[in-house]
Amino acid sequence: MSARVTIGEDTLKSSSPADRLRWLGLSLVMLLLDQATKYAASTYLAYGERRAVTEFFSWTHLHNTGAAFSFLADAGGWQRGFLIGVAIVISVMLLGWLWSGGTSKGQSIALSAILGGALGNLTDRLLRGHVVDFLDFHYAQYHWPAFNLADVWITTGAALLIWAHRKYGN
User: So which residues are the catalytic ones?
Assistant: 133, 151
- Residues with Cβ within 8 Å of 128's Cβ and at least 6 positions away in sequence, in order, are 63
The DSSP code sequence of 14-27 is E--HHHHHHHHHHH
| Cα 123 versus chain centre, distance | 11
C-beta separation of 109 from 31 below 8 A: no
Give residue 102's region: left, alpha or beta (phi > 0; psi -120 to 50).
left
C-beta pairs of 96-101 under 8 Å, 24+ apart in sequence: 98/20, 98/23, 98/24, 98/27, 99/20, 100/15, 101/4, 101/13, 101/14, 101/15, 101/16, 101/19, 101/20
